[in-house]
Structure 1
């Protein structure tokens, strides 16, 4: 039987590319969102995960009509993993307290339901905003480069703070259950049609300094989710989810020197190596990017 994945937020910018990637990898994917995803092989359920009852039911009910064919007494077929991307995606969409409430309570409810139902693999979407600069008031320096997972995260905004809380929630449930719960600090998500914007970014590198010129191709993010599902036994982990290089045609150290001249480097980096480092997912998960921006943008 195909492994069953419950994916929350699959209709969003990242999910609508990551979900097809997982389907193509051989999984049955059930999308849980406020709006359905029209994608081959994907089933949908409309639910509000800030309601704990809806979250628990969504993870413990039949996925589609064929599930009924097994007959009475067989019961609901369980999910093998949960990938949780559903969230308010940034500040300035809803009031700050509502962004915080939806993101933190939604994550708590999904993880709690998954753990109580015995789903031993849970992947949650964290964010590059946890590093504290993306939505900061005015200019703010990073502590150090490259940005790696042991960084002292310190956002001042409601969205970044919600992601820090979600990481702590994930860790708490991993501690009590012994299950694998991996948090992905996702860089700026780039869809295929957005590469046309890169020449403008190259000409104006200050446009992307708040995100340290990071990016993750949405399709490569699907690969990262796949690798997380397949890699067992790590307990609680945080992974930066980013492509290998900066989204600029200027070397990484030149960007840092120009825009963050006082920020120290903790190690040597490659000429264009991402300042939001993906070294951990390459070394631990075996990530190999398929969608370097250079495939789509002429320099």
Structure 2
């Protein structure tokens, strides 16, 4: 009997990639989201359920036969989260708490995987060195703060549960299926600029340094978690990144090289929610799960560009 994975919030960029990855690995996948474009998820091993995560009973009922639950739900992004503090709790934190309280009663669940945010929970690295899982948490947006709060609720609620939970803190995720109409992250914005031949705002002279991880590598990290028999604690926490830092200016130059086009930039002052240096240390996940990223940034950008060109040709 095939193992079944439920992906909550699975209709978006990361969810589509995880769905394809796990189907290719031989799993049955249930995609749960408020709204689903079923034309993007046409596969005999993929089922869908349009459920509002705030409807806890309906959510649990749809997932009750799944062994693994992957929670991707987030209704906010860092740039606007400070404007919606109450909505943030009601839409993101509260539904997860209610779900886990019920999930503890189910004998089917074996793994719970939550995608946090390595790019926002730590804040700046004051000494410009990679941040490990025990580094001080100084989020500079409520988005990062809500991720920390959620992590703590997960640790508390699963401390007496029968299933293993994993909290993954990915760096800046990029790859195929990114939303290029309303992109999130510099790589998405840059490729949108290339496609539309428009300019892009460059904050702090492009000196902001980030860690980037291709979504295929993130999918492999999730897979490593649910295949693992590692049970040091009920909740294991891992950074998922490349442990390599690139300035935004360097990323734009690499995209120029990839596309053979020149992105026009407009200088802007720093934003309140931007960290100057944020690179993740990944020694812990290497040691515990034998995972490490395989896709270098140049290869990953080429993969995105090939996907974009293919999408354009099919229009």
Counterpart mapping for 1:153-168 below 5 A: 153-168=137-152
Q: CA distance change for structure 1 residues 224 and 121 in 2, over 3 Å: closer, same or farther?
A: same
1:142 matched to 2:157? The reply is no
Distance (Å, rounded) in 2 between the aligned partners of 1:178 and 1:143: 39
Q: Structure 2-normalised TM-score?
A: 0.70
Question: For 2:116, which of 104, 118, 126 is the aligned residue?
Answer: 126
Aligned length: 252
SS of equivalent to 1:31: strand
Q: 1:156-208: per-residue Cα shift (whole Å, max 9, x none)?
A: 4321121111111111122121531111112111024758948999x988547
- Asked if structure 1 preserves the Cα contact closer than 8 Å seen for 2:121 and 2:148, the reply is no
Q: 1:79-99: per-residue Cα shift (whole Å, max 9, x none)?
A: 111111111141427723212
- Asked if structure 2 preserves the Cα contact closer than 8 Å seen for 1:247 and 1:293, the reply is no
Counterpart mapping for 1:207-218 below 5 A: 207=206, 209=208, 212-218=209-215
Distance (Å, rounded) in 2 between the aligned partners of 1:244 and 1:284: 17
Specify the alignment match of 1:24 in structure 2. 24
Distance (Å, rounded) in 2 between the aligned partners of 1:4 and 1:296: 29
Cα displacement (A) at 1:49: 1.2
Unmatched runs of 5 consecutive residues or more in structure 1? 61-77, 134-140, 251-258, 260-273
Q: CA distance change for structure 1 residues 164 and 196 in 2, over 3 Å: closer, same or farther?
A: closer
1:175 matched to 2:159? The reply is yes
Q: CA distance change for structure 1 residues 275 and 157 in 2, over 3 Å: closer, same or farther?
A: closer
Specify the alignment match of 2:100 in structure 1. 111
Q: Structure 1-normalised TM-score?
A: 0.73
Cα displacement (A) at 1:154: 2.7
Distance (Å, rounded) in 2 between the aligned partners of 1:296 and 1:233: 30
- Asked if structure 1 preserves the Cα contact closer than 8 Å seen for 2:211 and 2:243, the reply is no
SS of equivalent to 1:30: strand
Provide the aligned C-alpha RMSD in A.
3.2
Q: CA distance change for structure 1 residues 279 and 204 in 2, over 3 Å: closer, same or farther?
A: farther
- Asked if structure 2 preserves the Cα contact closer than 8 Å seen for 1:2 and 1:27, the reply is yes
Q: 1:107-130: per-residue Cα shift (whole Å, max 9, x none)?
A: 213323332213121001111244
Unmatched runs of 5 consecutive residues or more in structure 2? 179-186, 251-269, 271-277, 303-315
